[in-house]
Amino acid sequence: MTRIGVAFNLKPEPLGAPVGATLGGADNETADPIHGDEEPPSNGAGPVRAPRQRPATTGRPDNTVLLQELAADDEYAEWDTAETIDAVVRALSAYGTVIRLEATPDFPERLRAERPDIVFNMAEGSGGKNREAHVPAICEFFDVPYTGSDPLTLSLCLDKSRTKEVLSHYGVATPCFAVLESLDAVDLLSPALRYPLFVKPIHEGSSKGITERNLCQTPADLAAQVEFLLDSYAQPVLVEEYLPGAEFTCAVLGNGSDAAVLPIVAMDFDALPDGAIPVYGFEAKWVWDRPDAPLRIFECPAAIPDSLRRTIESTTLRAYQALGCRDWSRVDVRLDAAGVPNVIEVNPLPGILPNPADNSCFPKAARAAGMSYETLIQSCLALAADRQGLRLRRVRT
Ligand SMILES: Nc1ncnc2c1ncn2[C@@H]1O[C@H](COP(=O)(O)OP(=O)(O)O)[C@@H](O)[C@H]1O
Ligand SMILES: [Mg+2]
């Protein structure tokens, strides 16, 4: 029987009382948005009332300050819950014996001792800009096949500016950008970059550090937010031109010329509170989406003309190939002022929350393609097995 390892990082349970803070306003409740799920929580992050005010470039409401501090304190936002890991284990068990390999410091010894035939990698890793590459690199070291992209691609995609350099080299549209390692160069950015600008920590995911305050209309906004991000995240800040158009996220499954885009997910920013800026950041993922009031922000398949769908698909696939993605990945795309699809980032370890009530884009796109959660996980396993010459046999239906 095939022995299938699953490598994961388990999100710690919140300790005791919620550590969240009141988000301004008498009827706001306390909550713990930082310990929610990797992807947006209609799935159990605490109840937090949406800040309804538009955070204008001047006179921003105080709660946006608190929100961005919470967003900077979201250490485990990328890790998976027991529910997600159990669902993946269930899906994999149709093809063999599943061995849980938590990506803790004893992972190398356990991997070597267990020597599974293949590892299903969903470990987001801990610590540093190469964190997502650790598990696959250890698998390579011990010559154990694994699912998904290799360490180079995982590290590359976790560096948003290096990703953009590669995309630019291959002629894939991506917003003009600069990287700031200190505040010194902030004044030199204009006129090279045109306002409004959007800033983000260079090595994060799950909207860590991305709040409404990251949209900068003026040099003063920019200096303040770059300073905040440099201080909070201790890593360079990516400064990009702001893309004003519609946003999509595209799930890709497959390898080489067989790689294909599942039905495209569109963001409906009308679902955000009145006056919110149209971005899918920390507030939309972790604050405004609640189990008792899910944020209906996704439309899948996206209701767009065929010609736009085809352009988005080809941009997505070019990005996937340019970055060397394997088996699966999710590509975030947004239209510029001329309606041209630009790639914002590529996620080679896509979020895979199993509960359809949760806003998890990859499983949602798979469902729109008629594929169950189990089939999605099994497809990724099968693609990786095929690539590495491993034969899988179904042991249960
Ligand atoms: N250049 C940009 N222009 C407009 N919106 C952007 C830009 N970059 C990011 N965003 C918004 O911020 C969100 C999060 O950015 P992204 O780079 O995808 O980070 P994460 O890794 O946290 O998902 C995007 O989904 C999009 O709504
Ligand atoms: Mg993203």
Q: What is the mean pLDDT of residues 34-55?
A: 36
Q: Do 67 and 51 form a contact (C-beta atoms < 8 A)?
A: yes
Residue 61 exposed, middle or buried by CB count within 10 Å (0-12, 13-18, 19+): middle
The whole-angstrom separation of Cα 224 and Cα 152 is 33
Band of pLDDT at residue 319, cut at 50, 70 and 90:
very high
The CB of 248 under 6 Å from ligand 1? The reply is no
pLDDT of 74 = 61
pLDDT of 73 = 58
Q: Which residues, including other chains, have CB under 8 Å from residue 143's CB and lie 6 or more apart?
A: none
Q: Pocket of ligand 1, candidates 242, 344, 359, 360: which has the most ligand atoms within 8 Å of its Cβ, to mutate?
A: 344
pLDDT of 63 = 61
Residues with CB under 5 A from ligand 2 (ion): 332
Q: Which residue has the higher pLDDT, 57 or 218?
A: 218
Task: Convert the pLDDT of each residue in 2-15 to its tens digit.
Answer: 999 999 999 987 65
- Look at residue 286 and tell me whether its pLDDT is greater than 80: yes
Band of pLDDT at residue 161, cut at 50, 70 and 90:
very high
Band of pLDDT at residue 60, cut at 50, 70 and 90:
very low
Task: Convert the pLDDT of each residue in 331-383 to its tens digit.
Answer: 999 999 999 999 999 999 999 999 998 889 999 999 999 999 999 999 999 99
The CB of 214 under 6 Å from ligand 1? The reply is no
Mean pLDDT for the chain overall: 87
